[in-house]
Structure 1
Amino acid sequence: MYNFVEHGGVINGQEEDQEKYAAFMEKIDSGKKIEADDWMPKDYRETLIKLISMHGISEIMGALPEKEWVPKAPTLYRKLGIMAKVQDEMGHGQLLLRVAEDLLAPYGKGREDLMIDLLNGDLKFHNVFHMETKTWADAGVIGWLVDGAAIISQTNMLDASYGPYQRALQRICAEEVFHAQHGEAIIMALAEGTETQRQMLQEALNRWWPALLMFFGPESAETTGSSKQEVTTKYKIRKNSNEELRQAFLDKYLPRVFSLGLTVPDETLYYNEDEKRWVYQQPNWNEFKQIIRNNGPRSKERLRLRKLAHEKNKWVREALAAQPVTN
């Protein structure tokens, strides 16, 4: 029998029913899925809200760096490709925010509240989407390596215990594979191009490398004071730790990077044969914390664009709503 108190099962200051908690844990341990209207402990619900809302908002904010390159793509073919990718990312965001909305319902909140939280600085989005996209090569790196990292992270939750999120991820991961192939096509064209194009690609990779290492989050809770990965593992929302995911990314992509004659900006990098893991220079985790607090290179500009879009399209929300929209 699970001890509910030991596992932090408290809601509104009161201990919840231990029998319900035991049944809940036995259900997810047996591989069954929790649905939106099922009983769930408060920390499970709140962990899902934070995870899924951050994922959904990141999909929406993640469309902005590539959106900047839609009018500047080098060919009509590339323009059509990146436009389709931006459209997909926005669709992923809408899908995930609907999943989060079901979890928010008991608190009397919805998708509109999540967007307001983003604009107020109370809801974070992924570190990579605060970064600059200086050249066309950055669009390739986002598609190939950022989306590649996202696939590794999201497939880690393809069997998540929360059914609505798990089903949404099935569709999202399938589409992200095409996004990664889109990015790889850009990378290959540049890698096989002129010396100027190869140099542009190498410079983009150098710029993005620290952000890519930060993508999966710190190895331990001590770095940020958060124990989210322990909670998500306990509740079978995810399987692997941040560092295990980062190692999987390095295993998959470093050989590909090197095969193109590219390098990464880390002279300490090597593969430890005894430990079967990559040893690398840790990114600046203090910088990571500043970035996700909206102090990154393009944080303010991306949020400004999101706010303008939110205000400009208020009339659409009012037209569709049964009651006037106040925000």
Structure 2
Amino acid sequence: MYNYIPDGDSVAKAYTEEDQGKYEVFMERINNGEKIEADDWMPEDYRQALIKLISMHGISEIMGALPEKEWVPKAPTLKRKLGIMAKVQDEMGHGQLLLRVAEDLMKPYGRTRENLIEDLLNGDLKFHNVFHMPTKTWADAGMVGWMVDGAAIISQTNMLDASYGPYQRALQRICAEEVFHAQHGEAIIMALAEGTKEQREILQESFSRWWPSLLMFFGPASAETTGSSKQDIMIKYRIRKSNNEELRQVFLNKYLPRAFSLGLTVPDETVHYDKENERWIYQQPDWNEFKQIIKNKGPMSKERLRLREIAYEKNRWVRQALAPQVISS
């Protein structure tokens, strides 16, 4: 592994002159807008940041299909059933695509997609906080599509010009499909908002319950909570453009006016728009709870991981059948 030492203005200093020259060429390429490919030389912290990001993204797509999968047999109409089934299939496809991208980055370490699934089941690989939460009502199925996927679109479009070519190209396809997912969720939400009093109450209850998770979606803003260096590396290497709080403000700008127009009440009396500083003010969620959730201590963490484990074990024979066979002489 390459070993880089922070030096001055976040510039990486290599142990050898040869690696320093490679690093300077690498930085010049990404600063010029060139794309880095899987077989290109890259600094170790760049590779590690990409592996962590893309593997978590891919696993979250797979785990994110599970909350909605619960509503496939319970969807209120055939049309809704077909819509949510198609969405689940898309999310699983996104996960497989991203894990292939991550696998290419892990080749120097001899690791594969199968290792990532094992990491997930061992608790070493985290998945997104929102997918640890229960989907208690049909309104939750809509909320996942409308606001959770809406938040994902904001996060992912921020990386549509990512310096790593394979991830950037995968995101182009994923973001295009996520737009349809958000429209699918919005259609459910609109139907409930225009429905009976009971349906509107179900919608409000769902919105109130999901609010803290939605604020947590983009991660903490401060270094005290999680360490800003991870965000800085992503921005430094042009993997993404904005930090956590900037992305959260984009989300609030887009979705709070929509929620208000539907008559929804935000479960936070402090929420208001600060015109002078052009930003939304809100009560911080419980970041200690966030840490516990992503450690697989959320309301549905064990159940969802168990479903993934069962699927992994039941399909072991397929992986074994497809694995290269060793032919003895």
Question: Are the equivalent residues in 2 in contact too, given 1:28–1:236 (CA < 8 A)?
Answer: yes
Partner Cα separation in structure 1 for residue 13 and residue 314 of structure 2? 41
Q: 1:125 aligns with which of 108, 127, 139?
A: 127
Letter in 1 for 2:234: T
Instruction: Write out aligned runs for 1:128-147 (5 A).
Output: 128-147=130-149
Letter in 2 for 1:30: N
Counting aligned pairs with the same residue, the percent is 78
Partner Cα separation in structure 1 for residue 16 and residue 271 of structure 2? 50
1:253 equivalenced with 2:255 (yes/no): yes
Give the count of matched residue pairs: 321
Normalised by the length of structure 2, the TM-score is: 0.95
Instruction: Write out aligned runs for 1:228-247 (5 A).
Output: 228-247=230-249
User: How far did residue 5 of structure 1 move?
Assistant: 5.1
Residue-by-residue CA offset, 1:42-95 (whole Å, 9 max, x unaligned): 000000000000000000000000000000000110000000000000000000
Residue-by-residue CA offset, 1:285-305 (whole Å, 9 max, x unaligned): 000000000000000000000
Partner Cα separation in structure 1 for residue 66 and residue 271 of structure 2? 32
Unaligned runs of 5+ in 1: none
Quick one: structure 1 residues 10 and 88, their matched pair in 2 at CA, closer, same or farther if it must change by over 3 Å? farther
Q: CA RMSD in A?
A: 1.6
Q: 2:201 aligns with which of 199, 202, 206?
A: 199
Residue-by-residue CA offset, 1:137-192 (whole Å, 9 max, x unaligned): 00000000000000000000000000000000000000000000000000000000
Q: Which residue in 2 is equivalent to 1:280? A: 282
- 3-state secondary structure, aligned to 2:105: helix
Question: Are the equivalent residues in 1 in contact too, given 2:132–2:299 (CA < 8 A)?
Answer: yes
Question: Are the equivalent residues in 2 in contact too, given 1:4–1:22 (CA < 8 A)?
Answer: no
- 3-state secondary structure, aligned to 1:278: strand
- 3-state secondary structure, aligned to 1:222: coil
Partner Cα separation in structure 2 for residue 226 and residue 307 of structure 1? 33
Question: Are the equivalent residues in 2 in contact too, given 1:65–1:132 (CA < 8 A)?
Answer: yes
User: How far did residue 225 of structure 1 move?
Assistant: 3.4
Normalised by the length of structure 1, the TM-score is: 0.95
Letter in 2 for 1:156: N
- 3-state secondary structure, aligned to 2:224: helix
Q: 1:108 aligns with which of 107, 110, 117?
A: 110
Letter in 2 for 1:127: N
1:210 equivalenced with 2:207 (yes/no): no
Partner Cα separation in structure 1 for residue 11 and residue 214 of structure 2? 33
Partner Cα separation in structure 2 for residue 323 and residue 119 of structure 1? 26
Partner Cα separation in structure 2 for residue 198 and residue 8 of structure 1? 53
- 3-state secondary structure, aligned to 1:261: coil
Q: Which residue in 2 is equivalent to 1:270? A: 272
Partner Cα separation in structure 2 for residue 16 and residue 267 of structure 1? 58
Unaligned runs of 5+ in 2: none
Partner Cα separation in structure 1 for residue 6 and residue 224 of structure 2? 24
Partner Cα separation in structure 1 for residue 277 and residue 115 of structure 2? 46
Question: Are the equivalent residues in 2 in contact too, given 1:95–1:168 (CA < 8 A)?
Answer: yes
Question: Are the equivalent residues in 2 in contact too, given 1:4–1:16 (CA < 8 A)?
Answer: no
User: How far did residue 17 of structure 1 move?
Assistant: 1.1
- 3-state secondary structure, aligned to 1:236: coil
- 3-state secondary structure, aligned to 2:166: helix
Letter in 2 for 1:211: S
User: How far did residue 4 of structure 1 move?
Assistant: 6.9
- 3-state secondary structure, aligned to 1:271: strand
Please identify, of 315-324 and 258-267, the stretch whose mean Cα deviation from structure 2 is larger: 315-324
Q: 2:173 aligns with which of 164, 171, 175?
A: 171
Instruction: Write out aligned runs for 1:1-327 (5 A).
Output: 6=7, 7=10, 9=12, 17-225=19-227, 227-323=229-325
